[in-house]
Structures are given as C-alpha cells and as structure tokens.
Amino acid sequence: MPTIRFDGERIECEDGRNLLRALPRGALSSATPVSLCGNGVCGMCAVTVAGETNELTEAERNRLSEPCEDSPCEGEGGGGDGDGDETDADQSRRRLACQTEVHGDLEVTTDE
C-alpha cells in the first residue's frame, strides 16, 4: 500500500487512488472547495511530487504550461523556466493533485 508524505504526515492509500482525494480535506487550499476542482482547469491543487504516479494528463500539460493567476502554480509554467527545454521528468514533478494517481510512495510539497 503506497504511503504519501505530506506536511509532516504519512498517509496510506490504495494504489491508483487520486492524490487530491487521498489527502485530508482542505489540505491544499481551503479557499477552493474540492467540488469545484477535479478537471485540471483551476490549477489550485498544483503540487510538487516525487515518486510513482501516472503520466502527465493533457489537462495538466495545458494548465501548467500557462501562467496561473491567483493560484499556487503562478509563474511555474510547467515547472521549468519557460524556454521549452524542460524534459518530461522536469515537467512531471509539478502536478495537479486532481489529475494525479498514486502508484507508489510519494512525497508531496506545496509552495505555501
């Protein structure tokens, strides 16, 4: 069973579970209700992930490649410096929790 390390806690979850759903309610943004997130549109659940996950989704590629106003992914541009030279490994570290499946132990951090 995978373990997620987040904010000093260890959270166990089943393989394949959605990362946003595995974290405690409100853990990423108390200002954005979970019911409004989930489609990879708002960017409010942007996190940095180290560990085994699914591949970056098309929604994540689109959202993380754009500047995000008023959200945690502001200025990230997919996790690189915006010059287009980032590798898939660089880009996959920055994820949207609502689009990320847990497939092994993870360490999750936020910019907050």
Domain locations along the chain: 3-109
Say which residues have a Cβ less than 8 Å from residue 87's Cβ, sequence separation at least 6. none
C-alpha span between 12 and 1 (Å, rounded)? 7
pLDDT in tens, 62-101: 999 876 555 555 444 444 434 444 444 544 599 999 999 9
DSSP, collapsed to helix, strand or coil, labels residue 69 as coil
The matching CATH number, chosen from 3.10.20.30, 3.40.140.80, 3.40.50.2000, 1.10.12.10, for 3-109 is 3.10.20.30
Q: Which helix (H) or strand (E) holds 51?
A: strand 46-53
In this prediction the pTM is 0.74
Quickly list H helices, 1-112. 19-22, 58-64, 88-93
